[in-house]
Amino acid sequence: MTKFIGRQKELDRLESVYNEDGFQMVVLYGRRRVGKSTLISKFLEGKRAIYYVATKVGSKRNTFLLAKQVTDILAPQMGNASFDSLDSLLPFIGGFSSNKKLVLVIDEFPYWAESDESIISTFQKYIDTVWSSKNIMFIICGSSLSFMEDKVLSEKSPLFGRRTMQMRIDVFNYLESAQFVPDYSNEEKAICYGITGGVAKYLSLIDDRKSLEQNIIEQFFDTTGYLYDETRNLLVQEFSDVANVNNILEQIAFGTTTIKGISDKTHIKEPTVLYCLERLINVGLVERKSCMLDESNKKKNQYVLKDQMFRFWYSFIPNALPFIEMGKGSVYYERIVKKQIHTFMGRVFEDMCRMFVLRKSAEGFFDCLITKVGSWWGSEQIEEQGTKRFQQSEIDVVGVSPIEKTMVLGECKFKNEPIDRTVYETLVKRSRSLPSNFMVSKYMLFSLGGFSKFFQEYQSDMLLKFTLDDLYK
């Protein structure tokens, strides 16, 4: 049996709702593969429950299949009894919940409701007229973020105001991800987090009794590996225009971050690109990033891959396909990927450092309360030989205290070499390009490979230095 890892807070919240008397309704949602079904299954252990997973087979068939589960669990003596509609099935379910609590779960609810949105009103009707006086815990679960937020949770939904609790299940952060591979070094844990994006299903595939390299080769660079074909499988499940979506994701992975840039390189019209991007955001694969301290400037918005596994896949797998299909994926990994994996991890490490800053702020580590963390990019003035010019630059970590008008700034290097003074000096210089109404409280350096001899002697109350090991403490 697979060990259940994490989600204790979520389990505790579900249990607290379960222990309440009377009708309770929980809306639980999150992108695919994050472990929603695993969480629900764990919660249901030892409870009287009906757990139905809806499919894209139409309303009538879903009603029939749910009814079959209901009778098998609650009234096996009824044998082949059938229900021709939810209007007859839902009151029947209510009749078995007067005393002992009954949990009814409908997983992948959008699959059912998308073919017949009237079922949302049907559930609402029986919640109000029958179930409200019953001892039922009703859990609606779904992977379509937009559907769950617009059709189930929003004010215009017939179910609005009926929920006891809503819970969005997200990917694991880097510390939670490390629990899946306790025997790995911190560097290996970080890479493991980077290639899986903290997605529960992908993390569960990693066996820390094997080397990390062996795991990567088996999962990505072999035709039998789960992650070898995972991107295509997910896209086929979510999109009808897979070719367009695939082309867009590929360009984002290569560093093209604007609608116009993506359109130019894919030859897909900008409105179509925008439409695809919005759907990619809805399923949790892409995010729209705004520039810290310049959030109102929509022209600076960037579209980036939120799913790090997708970024790893698009970075390496397409070019490796001939080798993988020949059964020589390990050769490609050794010759190409192994040399570039630290470069790939650069962005992942930046995300980890931003998480770390927010966590340390909550612990009272800084002399100001950092409530927002992101990155900054823009123009930096350079003066050379008496002439001035501007060049694009970036600050990896910008943590802001909007109330106190202070900020902390950081540079991140995931390299097996020590950070030298030039990195620090560049960070200080770039900070002068930021809005002057925010005062710099601390400069921070984050390094995989430690720090040069310069920092053994250099002392400043303004500078904080962190290693990868510090992030895992």
- Collapsing DSSP to helix, strand or coil, 60 comes out as helix
**Structure tokens that stand for 60 in this block:** 């009538």
- If you average pLDDT over residues 208-236, what whole number do you get? 96
Is the pTM here over 0.75, yes or no?
A: yes
- If you average pLDDT over residues 14-37, what whole number do you get? 95
Residue range 348-471 in CATH 3.30.565.10? no
Q: What is the pLDDT of residues 256-315, one digit of tens each?
A: 999 999 999 999 999 999 999 999 998 889 999 999 999 999 889 999 999 999 999 999
Please check whether residue 411 is in contact with residue 445, taking contact to mean a CB–CB distance below 8 angstroms.
yes
Residue 188, pLDDT > 80, answer: yes
Side-chain-facing half-sphere of 354: CA atoms under 13 Å: 19
- The residue with greater pLDDT, 115 or 29, is 29
Q: Where does residue 307 rank: exposed (0-12), middle (13-18), buried (19+ CB within 10 A)?
A: buried
Q: What is the pLDDT of residues 110-166, one digit of tens each?
A: 999 988 999 999 999 999 999 999 999 999 999 988 899 999 999 999 999 999 999
Residue range 8-168 in CATH 2.60.40.420? no
How many other CB atoms sit within 10 Å of the CB of residue 123? 23
Q: What is the pLDDT of residues 345-369, one digit of tens each?
A: 999 999 999 999 999 999 999 999 9
Per-residue pLDDT, 382: 76
Please check whether residue 404 is in contact with residue 440, taking contact to mean a CB–CB distance below 8 angstroms.
no
- Fold type of domain 175-345: Arc Repressor Mutant, subunit A (1.10.10)
Query: In the chain, pLDDT over 70 holds for what percent of residues?
Result: 99
> Would you kindly state where each structural domain of the chain is located, as residue ranges?
8-168, 175-345, 348-471
- If you average pLDDT over residues 239-250, what whole number do you get? 95
- If you average pLDDT over residues 96-115, what whole number do you get? 90
How many other CB atoms sit within 10 Å of the CB of residue 190? 23
Which residues fall within 8 angstroms of residue 243, CB to CB, at 6 or more apart?
none
**432 alpha carbon, distance to own chain's centre:** 33
**Structure tokens that stand for 356 in this block:** 């770390």
Maximum C-alpha span of the chain: 92
Scan for tokens 């993390």, then name that residue. 203
In angstroms, rounded to a whole number, what is the distance separating the alpha carbons of residues 105 and 168?
16
Per-residue pLDDT, 1: 45
Residue 84, pLDDT > 50, answer: yes
In angstroms, rounded to a whole number, what is the distance separating the alpha carbons of residues 159 and 155?
8
Task: Give per-residue burial for 232-243: e unless 16+ CB within 10 Å, then b.
Answer: eebbeebbeeee
How many other CB atoms sit within 10 Å of the CB of residue 199? 25
Per-residue pLDDT, 2: 59
What is the enclosing helix (H) or strand (E) of 351? helix 338-362
Give the pLDDT band (50/70/90) at residue 386: confident
Q: Where does residue 297 rank: exposed (0-12), middle (13-18), buried (19+ CB within 10 A)?
A: exposed
Closest CA to 235 of 244, 226, 225: 244
In angstroms, rounded to a whole number, what is the distance separating the alpha carbons of residues 211 and 285?
28
Residue 85, pLDDT > 60, answer: yes
Angle, CA of 30, 193 and 372, to the nearest 5°: 65
Instruction: Report the mean per-residue pLDDT for the chain.
Output: 94
- If you average pLDDT over residues 167-191, what whole number do you get? 97
Residue-wise DSSP of 293-342 = T-TT-GGG-EEEES-HHHHHHHHHHHHHHHHHHTT-HHHHIIIIIHHHHH
Write down the H helix ranges in 75-140. Answer: 86-94, 109-113, 118-129
